[in-house]
Chain A
Amino acid sequence: MLSRDENELLTQTNSGTSAGEYFRRFWLPALLPSEVPTPDCPPVRVRLLGEDLVAFRDTNGQVGLLEEACAHRRASLFWGRNEECGLRCVYHGWKFDVNGICVDMPNEPQEYRFENKVRTVAYPTREYGGLVWVYMGPPEHQPELPKLEWARVPESHRYISKRLQETNYLQAIEGGIDSSHSNFLHASLEAFRLTDSYVEKVKNSNNLRAKYHLLDKAPWFTVKKTDYGLVIAVRRKAEEDRYYWRLTQFLVPSHTMIPYQAGHSIHGHCWVPRDDQTCWVWTMSWNPDAPLSHEDLETIRDETFVHARVDPVTFKPVRNKDNNYMVDREQQRTSTMTGIHGFASQDQAIQESMSPIVDRTRERLGTSDTAIIAMRRLLLQEMRELAQAHEPFAAQHGDVYWVRSASLLLKRDVEFDKGARELMKAEV
Chain B
Amino acid sequence: MELNAQSGASGSEVNPAHIVPVTNFSADTLWSIIAHMEVSTDFEHLVYREAELDAIWSITGFFLVNEPDSNQREAVSRLHTGAHKAHDLVADRRPAEAAMLLRAFL
Q: What residues of chain A have their CB less than 8 Å away from a CB belonging to chain B?
A: 1, 3, 6, 220-225, 235, 364-367, 369-370, 373-374, 377-378, 381, 415-416
B37 on interface, CB distance cutoff 8 Å: no
Q: What residues of chain B have their CB less than 8 Å away from a CB belonging to chain A?
A: 1-5, 17, 19-22, 42-44, 46-48, 50-52, 54-55, 57-58, 61-62, 84, 87-88, 91
A377 touches B47 (CB 8 A): yes
Q: Within the complex, which residue of B4, B20, B51 is in contact with A369, where a contact is CB–CB below 8 Å? A: B51
A223 touches B47 (CB 8 A): yes
B21 to chain A: closest residue by CB: A367
Q: Within the complex, which residue of B44, B52, B88 is in contact with A374, where a contact is CB–CB below 8 Å? A: B44
Report the Cα distance A205→B51, complex, angstroms.
34
A221 touches B55 (CB 8 A): no
Given contacts A365-B51, A377-B50, 11 further A-B contacts (CB under 8 A): A220-B3, A220-B19, A221-B4, A222-B3, A364-B54, A364-B61, A364-B62, A367-B20, A373-B50, A377-B43, A381-B43
B61 to chain A: closest residue by CB: A364
A222 touches B4 (CB 8 A): yes
Question: Across the interface, which residues of B come within 8 angstroms of A6, CB to CB?
Answer: 91
Q: Within the complex, which residue of B5, B51, B57, B91 is in contact with A220, where a contact is CB–CB below 8 Å? A: B5
Report the Cα distance A236→B61, complex, angstroms.
30
Secondary structure at chain B's binding surface: helix, strand, loop or mixed? helix
Question: Across the interface, which residues of B come within 8 angstroms of A370, CB to CB?
Answer: 19, 47-48, 51
B49 to chain A: closest residue by CB: A373
B4 touches A366 (CB 8 A): no
B3 touches A415 (CB 8 A): yes
Min C-beta distance of B103 to chain A, whole Å: 21
Min C-beta distance of B82 to chain A, whole Å: 14
A225 touches B43 (CB 8 A): yes
Min C-beta distance of A10 to chain B, whole Å: 13
Secondary structure at chain A's binding surface: helix, strand, loop or mixed? mixed
A224-B1, A370-B48, A377-B50 are known contacts. Are A365 and B55 too (CB-CB below 8 A)? yes
A373 touches B51 (CB 8 A): yes
B55 touches A367 (CB 8 A): yes
A366 to chain B: closest residue by CB: B55
Question: Across the interface, which residues of B come within 8 angstroms of A377, CB to CB?
Answer: 43, 46-47, 50, 91
A235 touches B44 (CB 8 A): no
Question: Across the interface, which residues of B come within 8 angstroms of A221, CB to CB?
Answer: 4, 19
Can you list 26 contacts pairing A with B, beta carbon distance less than 8 Å?
A: A3-B88, A220-B3, A220-B5, A222-B1, A222-B3, A222-B17, A224-B1, A235-B3, A364-B57, A364-B58, A365-B55, A366-B22, A366-B51, A366-B55, A367-B48, A367-B51, A367-B54, A369-B51, A373-B50, A373-B54, A374-B43, A374-B44, A377-B43, A377-B50, A415-B3, A416-B3
Q: Which of B19, B20, B42, B61 counts the most chain A CB atoms within 10 A? A: B19
Question: Across the interface, which residues of A come within 8 angstroms of B44, CB to CB?
Answer: 222-225, 374
Question: Across the interface, which residues of A come within 8 angstroms of B54, CB to CB?
Answer: 1, 364-367, 369, 373
3 residue pairs, one from A and one from B, having the closest CB atoms: A364-B58, A365-B54, A374-B47
A378 to chain B: closest residue by CB: B43
Report the Cα distance A1→B91, complex, angstroms.
10
A367 touches B19 (CB 8 A): yes
Question: Across the interface, which residues of B come within 8 angstroms of A365, CB to CB?
Answer: 51, 54-55, 58
Report the Cα distance A366→B4, complex, angstroms.
16
Q: Within the complex, which residue of A1, A220, A364 is in contact with B4, where a contact is CB–CB below 8 Å? A: A220
Min C-beta distance of B35 to chain A, whole Å: 16
Min C-beta distance of A44 to chain B, whole Å: 41
Question: Across the interface, which residues of A come within 8 angstroms of B42, CB to CB?
Answer: 225
Report the Cα distance A349→B84, complex, angstroms.
31
Min C-beta distance of B21 to chain A, whole Å: 7
Question: Across the interface, which residues of B come within 8 angstroms of A366, CB to CB?
Answer: 22, 51, 54-55, 58
Question: Across the interface, which residues of B come within 8 angstroms of A364, CB to CB?
Answer: 54, 57-58, 61-62
Min C-beta distance of A100 to chain B, whole Å: 40
A220 to chain B: closest residue by CB: B5
Question: Across the interface, which residues of A come within 8 angstroms of B5, CB to CB?
Answer: 220, 235
Report the Cα distance A274→B48, complex, angstroms.
32
Min C-beta distance of B36 to chain A, whole Å: 12
B1 to chain A: closest residue by CB: A224
Q: Which of B19, B43, B48, B51 counts the most chain A CB atoms within 10 A? A: B51
Min C-beta distance of B95 to chain A, whole Å: 13
B19 to chain A: closest residue by CB: A367
Question: Across the interface, which residues of A come within 8 angstroms of B91, CB to CB?
Answer: 6, 377
Min C-beta distance of A387 to chain B, whole Å: 16
A367 touches B3 (CB 8 A): no
